[in-house]
Amino acid sequence: MDESTESESRKLLGRLREALAEEGAGQERLDRITHLTATSMNTEVCSIYLFRDADTLELCATQGLKREAVHKTRMRLGEGLVGRAARTGRPVKSANAPQEPGFRFMPETGEEIYSSFLGVPIQRLGERLGVLVVQSKDARRYSDDEVYALEVVAMVLAEMTELGVFVGDGAALSARHKNPEMFRGTVGQEGTAIGHVFLHEPRVVITNPIADDPVRETERLREAVDTLRLSVDDMLSVAMGVDKDSRQVMETYRMFANSRGWLRRMEEDIARGLSAEAAVEKEQSDARARLRGVPDAYLRERLHDLDDLSNRLLRILTGQGNETGAAMPDDPILVARNIGPGELLEYGRALRGVVLEQGSVGSHAAVVARALAIPLVIQAERITADALNGDRILVDGDQGIVHLRPEDNVLKAFRDKLAMQTDAQERYASLRNQPAQAKCGTTIRLTMNAGLMADLPSMEGSGAEGVGLFRTELQFLIRSHIPRRGELAALYSRVLDAAKGREVIFRTLDIGSDKVLPYMKPQDEPNPALGWRAIRVGLDMPGMMRMQLQALIRAAAGRPLSVMFPFVAQFDEFRAARDFMLRELEREDKLGHVLPSSWKIGSMLETPSLAFAPRQFFEMADFISIGGNDLKQFFFAADRENERVRRRYDTLNVSFLGIIAHIIDRCAEVGTPLSFCGEDAGRPVEAMCFAAMGLRTLSMRPASIGPVKSLLRRVDLNEVKAVIDDGFASGAQSVRPAVTEWLTREGWALAR
């Protein structure tokens, strides 16, 4: 780039700033910009297309095309060359546009006489806002410098759009962050919440995208980069003492922070007239656009690192730290691109709900949200670009839907739904001390699932009779290092204290698959759910399992202890794990530690193979718990984390109930206690069917105990069993229709 190009560009931006400073409505300002750009770039046409909705671009201003076409000409995302620039987030140029594949002829604009075309996306931090186009009659080939210059103008346009400079009539010029928006995401954790947005990472606002003293701006940028490098070095020295993986991440950060290419590109942007902040953001926007098209997970991660680094740099430059002074509202709903489990725990129960742009059902954050019973919607695309701190927001975790700045009627419907749920909760609370006794006299034991110390207080409120599943991996997932034995023993001891003599079944580490410990090298496996996980890791590398068993034994000290092994697929695995436990008991005894007063060693049954294990397995296990989440995924060969197939197969499908009945029979034959601890145990209709089929213990989220108990107390399980048997005999795929019809007849249509 030579100096004359630089000064041309600076001149254009200077004029742009003057034009933007002049009074006028949004439309006038856009008109001025098209005029200015066409003149400066020496093209016959300059047009601005903006999105009027997520899929439609609208011609909003033009110099050179017919004025009648403004606000009339529209195209879909991806349609024509303009749509292509918007979709790909990359410039599109051609010396002979009408010959280009996908070219869309728009006679109303009079454009057939224009041969050359250059369109650059107007985007802010990866969010598509529109396209800026120049065209000319001659078959001109736009140089890289010209593309670059137009991109810089587009960048300023994007910043100004964000600041609301172009607000005018019509959808395409409507003010941003004002209209109601609905986001369709994925259910992460059921429940509903009304509240106000609290952004995990408040957006940085740039009020000065254009600067006329490049020397000063370059200095500011270099100073900020120096500060950034120092802070990365600091982080690295902290990471040195920690583990190899965090160190590697920090090394990558340092590499980026010292990258000459990164700094050079930003300095070039400044030389063209951008402020230091705008230059950083332009780099960041470009990186995000690249990110969209990268299929390789490793590369995507690296681009994420770069994105994070740009964020840090922007915060240094603008002085807007993570603390922007925005007070947390009384009813905060956290909105974030993604969040780690530790960070989520820090917010804790103060949050009414959480909405993430990324994340997955099995992510650690989802696990924590579930443990804290906070409604969570994941994969709500674009929400961080649209939501502002303090916006009203409704989270429907049952449907995976989020309403941002909702209309009054939506808010009212939502309030009604919440009121109904609160009424129901009050009714359930009154049952807290009542047994889950069905009309036929059978009593079902209802216990809760837990994984964090924070879960234990729910035991009293929910009326749970114990902890049927304590997922010990959560403690490992939220730490950046392996917890020490003493730490774990103290924690497990506090869990037992909180349970006040009620049974707690500790499940040993269920890691692997989606549950990757931050300090363990991730395994590159083609099918992680079928891979090296849980008991398989425990048996192959027994160090961690033995340490955990020792911690459990020491925690119990004189109290009863129940331990359960996850993901057992065959008898020998259980036998080997049980032997470890017995050996640890012996060893602890020899070391002089007080042993538990009694112990039970049980097994999860979550692989179909174990249902057909030898009789001796059922005899040897002190108890068995059906892990329905995994059992169902393997039984139907349907990934529990894949939304496309997750709900495809009904839990009340006769084949699945068939294997449940088989397991119940096998345990009954030898008198081994059996429970069900997958999510389905917390769904009243499913729970009722399991009870009718013979399950006597169900373990679920604390919030589900009330609804399940309420239904169980109203039904005669013999009648339910007869309905299920009829359903089986009818040849139907699932007994649900028969059961639902019966519930309706009995007047319990609303039982959920």
Considering CB distances under 5 to 8 angstroms, the limit depending on partner class, which of ligand PEP, Mg ion, none binds residue 188?
A: none
Instruction: Please tell me what DSSP assigns to residue 303.
Output: H
Using CB under 6 A as the binding rule, whether residue 283 contacts ligand PEP is answered as no
Helix, coil or strand: residue 503: coil
Q: Do you know the residue count of the chain?
A: 752
What residues between 250 and 269 interact with ligand PEP by CB under 6 A?
none
Closest-approach residue to Mg ion (CB):
630
Choose one: 25-33, 395-403, 428-436, 622-630; the region binding ligand PEP (CB under 6 A): 622-630
β-bridge partners, 512: 515
Longest dimension (CA), the chain: 93
Give the shortest CB-621-to-ligand PEP separation in angstroms.
Answer: 16
Restricted to residues 542-571, the positions that interact with Mg ion (CB under 5 A) are none
326 contacts 198 by C-beta, under 8 angstroms: yes
Least CB distance to ligand PEP at residue 507 (A)? 8
Asked if 627 is part of the footprint of ligand PEP (rule: CB under 6 A), the reply reads yes
Binding-site member from 630, 654, 702, 739 for ligand PEP (CB under 6 A): 630
Write down the least CB distance from residue 611 to Mg ion, Å: 15
Q: Which of residues 589-608 bind ligand PEP (CB under 6 A)?
A: 606
Q: Taking contact as CB under 5 A, which single stretch among the options 3-11, 70-78, 456-464, 601-609 is the one that binds Mg ion?
A: 601-609
- Minimal distance, residue 472 CB to ligand PEP, in Å: 10
Residue 428 CA to residue 706 CA, distance in Å, equals: 5
Per partner kind, with CB cut-offs from 5 to 8 A, the member of Mg ion, ligand PEP, none near residue 569 is none
Radius of gyration of the chain (CA): 31
Measure CA 627 to chain center. 24
Residues 680, 651 contacting (CB under 8 angstroms)? yes
Tokens describing residue 575? 């036998």
Q: Which does 468 bind (CB under 5 to 8 A by kind): Mg ion, ligand PEP, none?
A: none
CB 173 within 8 A of CB 33: no
User: What x/- string results for residues 435 through 474 when contact with ligand PEP is judged by CB under 6 A?
Assistant: ----------------------------------x-x---
CA distances from 703 to 422, 450, 600 (A): 12, 12, 27
Q: Are 565 and 580 in contact (CB under 8 A)?
A: no
Q: Which token pair is 106?
A: 């728009």
- CB 442 to ligand PEP: min, Å: 24
Alpha carbon distance 208, 13 (integer Å):
12
Residue 71 gets the label, from left (phi > 0), alpha (psi -120 to 50) or beta, of left
β 697-700/443-450 pair status:
parallel
Cβ nearer to ligand PEP, comparing 80 with 566? 566
DSSP 362-404: TSHHHHHHHHHT--EEE--TTHHHH--TT-EEEEETTTTEEEE
The interface partner of residue 678, options being ligand PEP, Mg ion, none and the CB cut-off 5 to 8 Å by kind, is ligand PEP
Exposure string for 618-630, b = 16+ CB within 10 A, e = fewer: bebbbbbbbbbeb
In whole angstroms, give the CA distance from residue 687 to residue 676.
Answer: 9
Residue 162 or 630: the one with the smaller Cβ distance to ligand PEP is 630
Torsion angle defined by CA atoms of residues 220, 224, 226 and 230, in that order, rounded to the nearest 10 degrees: 160
Neighbour tally for 336: CB within 10 Å: 22
Judged by CB under 6 A, how many residues of this single chain contact ligand PEP?
10
Give whichever of 596 and 628 is closer to Mg ion, judged by the CB atom: 628
The contact pattern for ligand PEP, residues 486-525, with x = CB under 6 A and - = no contact, is ------------------------x---------------
* Residue 682 binding partner per list ligand PEP, Mg ion, none, with a CB distance cut-off of 5 to 8 Å that depends on partner kind: none
Give the x/- contact pattern for Mg ion in 620-659, rule: CB under 5 A. Answer: -------x--x-----------------------------
Alpha-carbon distances of 397 from 193, 304, 364, 426, 701, rounded to whole Å: 8, 27, 17, 20, 15
DSSP 112: G
Q: Binding to ligand PEP by residue 58, rule CB under 6 A?
A: no
Q: Nearer Cβ to ligand PEP, position 111 or 630? A: 630
677 binds ligand PEP (CB under 6 A): yes
Nearest approach in angstroms of CB 534 to ligand PEP is 8
Q: How far apart are CA 611 and CA 593, in angstroms?
A: 37
**Stretch of 290-298, 488-496, 623-631, 738-746 contacting ligand PEP, by CB under 6 A:** 623-631
Place of tokens 């909405």: 355
Structure tokens at 686: 């499913």
Segment 30 to 49, residues that bind Mg ion, using CB under 5 A: none
> Which residue pairs from 247-253 have beta carbons closer than 8 angstroms and sit at least 24 positions apart in sequence?
249/305, 252/302, 252/305, 253/305, 253/308, 253/309
Query: Minimum distance between the CB of residue 636 and ligand PEP, rounded to whole angstroms?
Result: 13
Q: Does residue 307 interact with Mg ion by CB under 5 A?
A: no
Q: How far apart are the first and last CA of the chain?
A: 67
Nearest to Mg ion of 267, 514 (CB atom): 514
564 binds ligand PEP (CB under 6 A): no
Nearer to ligand PEP, 61 or 681 (CB): 681
- In the bound state with Mg ion, the residue whose beta carbon lies nearer, of 629 and 653, is 629
Q: Which is nearer to ligand PEP, 321 or 658 (CB)?
A: 658
**Site membership for ligand PEP, residue 190 (CB under 6 A):** no
Judged by the rule CB under 5 A, the positions of this chain that interact with Mg ion are 606, 627, 630
Task: Give the binding site for ligand PEP (CB under 6 A).
Answer: 469, 471, 510, 606, 627-630, 677-678
